[in-house]
Structures are given as structure tokens and as C-alpha cells.
């Protein structure tokens, strides 16, 4: 069985890119939170207005985080499904190759028996 090394290289590169993208998104979200909190704390507002702004921004950030989580879940499901399809394909290919090898072996054995049966015995 021949293993395609390019698949492993592509998968490794894809996982490295996914890791960088996740880090970038998480950094962006964390920076947004810190920036929003600092902007609210330094804005000249009354305590009641400040609490309202923090509550509103907290709700917005929660919505954004939920959206990010939903996208991540969808992507995870897509990756799992793709992995299942690849494994099913590999299993099918392996079965076909095994059946072919089995048929070849049976043919060779039959030919050998035929030759052994047709040769005159040396007694």
C-alpha cells in the first residue's frame, strides 16, 4: 500500500494555519474586550451610565463570543465529516486491493496445482 505523504504535509500545514487563525481571533477578541473596558472606564459618565454601558457591551461581547463558538463548532463538524469521508475512501481502497491480491493469489495457486497435476510423476 502506498501512502501519500503529501496528504500528511497538507494536513500539518492546515492545522498550523488553523492554530494561527485561532490565536489571531482570540487575540482580537481579547484586545476588543480590554479596549472596550478601558474606553468605558475613562469616559466621563455617571456611575449609572457607566454600569449601563458595561452591561450593554458585555452583552455584545457575549453575542460575539457565541457566534465565534458556533462557527468553530460548524468547522469542527465539517472537519470530522471530511475525516470520515477520507477514512471511508481509504478503507474501500484497501478492501479492493486486498480482494485483488486474494484473487491473484488464488489464480497463482490454481495454476501451480494445474501444473503439478499435469506433470508426469518421476518414480
Under a CB-based contact definition with an 8 Å cutoff, are residues 29 and 65 in contact?
Answer: yes
Q: How far is the C-alpha of 37 from the C-alpha of 82, rounded, in Å?
A: 40
Helices (runs of H) and strands (runs of E) counted in the chain:
2, 0
**Domain map of the chain by residue range?**
11-115
Which residues, at least 6 apart from 81, have a Cβ–Cβ distance to it below 8 Å? Answer: none
Task: Compute the chain's Rg from CA coordinates.
Answer: 32
Confidence of residue 8 (pLDDT cuts 50, 70, 90): very low
Q: Which residue has the higher pLDDT, 123 or 40?
A: 40
Q: How far is the C-alpha of 63 from the C-alpha of 109, rounded, in Å?
A: 69
**Model confidence over 78-112: pLDDT tens digits?**
999 999 999 999 999 999 999 999 999 999 999 98
Please name which of 87, 29, 26, 109 lies closest in space to residue 61, comparing C-alpha atoms. Answer: 29
Q: Which residue has the higher pLDDT, 67 or 17?
A: 67
pLDDT value of position 74: 92
Under a CB-based contact definition with an 8 Å cutoff, are residues 96 and 75 in contact?
Answer: no
Residue 121 pLDDT more than 80?
no
Amino acid at each position: 500500500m502506498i501512502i501519500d505523504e503529501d496528504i500528511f504535509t497538507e494536513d500539518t500545514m492546515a492545522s498550523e494555519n488553523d492554530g494561527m487563525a485561532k490565536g489571531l481571533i482570540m487575540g482580537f477578541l481579547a484586545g476588543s474586550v480590554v479596549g472596550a473596558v478601558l474606553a468605558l472606564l475613562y469616559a466621563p459618565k455617571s456611575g449609572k451610565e457607566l454600569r449601563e454601558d458595561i452591561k450593554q457591551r458585555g452583552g455584545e461581547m457575549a453575542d460575539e463570543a457565541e457566534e465565534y463558538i458556533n462557527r468553530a463548532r460548524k468547522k469542527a463538524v465539517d472537519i470530522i465529516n471530511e475525516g470520515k469521508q477520507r477514512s471511508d475512501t481509504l478503507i474501500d481502497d484497501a478492501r479492493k486491493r486486498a480482494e485483488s491480491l486474494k484473487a491473484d493469489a488464488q489464480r497463482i495457486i490454481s495454476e501451480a496445482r494445474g501444473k503439478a497435476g499435469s506433470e508426469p510423476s518421476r518414480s
